[in-house]
């Protein structure tokens, strides 16, 4: 009885970063999906600005403790432009206007408009960062966006939208895209933890005008709402934004943006399991389209292994890593 050589059973070294980045992206998507469930609870007791500030302060505290334990210093000057822009746009402005927008429109409309973000990320990444737009990425994003539209329409409350709410959600999508594209270059000069920590701090400083409202809301909010706010800061912000930055440093902005199309499908599943909201067939079909599109956008052409073929070159490994 013959057995495969040990070398064939060992993961090639050039694949390990790819798998780690994929795992980090998965953690991000799952935690960001869970955030929508927590926001629904905390948002009933906290105003948009107060919720954003409380979330950012909780996240900054958790990240600060980790930085001290890991002895992470201040990011180099070359990283600060990207950190500052992403902190203002994504950590600060995005969180406030998204919280506000979701109070003006139904969940389906919010999901529809905000999911323009990944498309903007791909376009901005191609224009400003020189990222490629391979056909598989474009096709996958088209399929996922169709799924997001399907989920949004199936969840729409019918007449629950307002022009202000749609504009706010569109501004959130634009801020999200701009923040991601600004963050990408900073990751070439600083660690994922540094970029996330100081971006979170910038966002918290931007939201300080809501401190009085936060104190007022916290005094009257039920414990469950406050715990959900803290959860949002520690997990979907501190942990998920760090794993996002880790993965973003190892792939293109467009591919990472496409990955977030898995969020609507996971939100549907989590709402079903935790809130007892049974999705309809149209919602399930839309969620399946979202996941299928993500699979297509993250796939890559595979070539058959040839016996005796040389190991991939460093340039080829970098190209492969860009497809994560």
- Tokens coding 220: 């009257």
Q: Check if the beta carbon of residue 194 is closer than 8 Å to that of residue 16.
A: no
Residue 300: is its pLDDT beyond 70? no
Q: Exposed/middle/buried for 309, CB within 10 Å: 0-12, 13-18, 19+?
A: exposed
User: DSSP per residue over 111-135, as a string?
Assistant: HHHHTTHHHHHHHHIIIII-----H
pLDDT tens-digit series, residues 232-254: 999 999 999 999 999 999 988 98
DSSP state of 221: S
Q: Check if the beta carbon of residue 272 is closer than 8 Å to that of residue 278.
A: yes
Mean pLDDT of 4-14: 53
pLDDT tens-digit series, residues 118-177: 888 999 999 999 998 888 888 888 888 888 877 777 766 554 557 788 888 889 999 999
| Mean of the per-residue pLDDT values of the chain | 83
Q: Check if the beta carbon of residue 58 is closer than 8 Å to that of residue 229.
A: yes
Residue 38: is its pLDDT beyond 70? yes
| CA pair distance 257, 200, nearest whole angstrom | 19
pLDDT in the model for residue 240: 96
Nearest to 74 by CA among 249, 238, 181, 194: 194
Dihedral angle of Cα 280, 273, 161, 55, to the nearest 10 degrees:
-160
pLDDT in the model for residue 304: 44
Q: pTM value?
A: 0.81
Confidence at 272, pLDDT banded by 50, 70, 90? confident
More confident residue, 217 or 132: 217
pLDDT in the model for residue 310: 43
């Amino acid at each position: 009885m013959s057995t495969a050589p040990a070398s064939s059973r060992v993961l090639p070294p050039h694949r390990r970063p790819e798998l780690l980045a994929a795992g980090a992206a998965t953690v991000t998507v799952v935690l960001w999906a869970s955030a929508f469930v927590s926001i629904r609870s905390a948002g009933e007791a906290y105003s948009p600005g107060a919720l954003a500030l409380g979330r950012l302060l909780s996240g900054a505290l958790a990240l600060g403790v980790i930085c001290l334990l890991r002895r992470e210093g201040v990011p180099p000057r070359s990283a600060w432009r990207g950190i500052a822009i992403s902190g203002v746009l994504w950590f600060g402005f995005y969180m406030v206007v998204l919280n506000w927008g979701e109070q003006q429109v139904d969940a389906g409309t919010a999901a529809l408009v905000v999911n323009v973000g990944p498309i903007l990320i791909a376009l901005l990444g191609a224009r400003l960062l020189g990222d490629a737009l391979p056909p598989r990425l474009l096709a996958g994003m088209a399929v996922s966006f169709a799924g997001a539209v399907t989920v949004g329409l199936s969840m729409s409350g019918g007449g629950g939208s307002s022009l202000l709410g749609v504009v706010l959600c569109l501004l959130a999508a634009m801020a999200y895209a701009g923040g991601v594209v600004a963050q990408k270059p900073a990751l070439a000069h600083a660690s994922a933890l540094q970029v996330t920590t100081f971006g979170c701090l910038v966002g918290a400083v931007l939201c300080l005008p809501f401190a009085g409202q936060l104190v007022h809301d916290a005094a009257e909010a039920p414990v469950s709402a406050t715990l959900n706010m803290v959860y949002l800061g520690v997990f979907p912000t501190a942990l998920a934004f760090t794993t996002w930055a880790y993965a973003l440093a190892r792939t293109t902005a467009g591919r990472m943006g496409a990955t977030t199309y898995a969020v609507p499908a996971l939100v549907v599943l989590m709402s079903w399991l935790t809130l007892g909201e049974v999705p309809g067939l149209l919602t399930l079909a839309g969620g399946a389209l979202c996941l299928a599109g993500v699979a297509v956008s993250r796939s890559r052409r595979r070539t058959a292994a040839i016996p005796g073929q040389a190991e991939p070159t460093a340039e080829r490994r970098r190209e492969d890593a860009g497809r994560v």
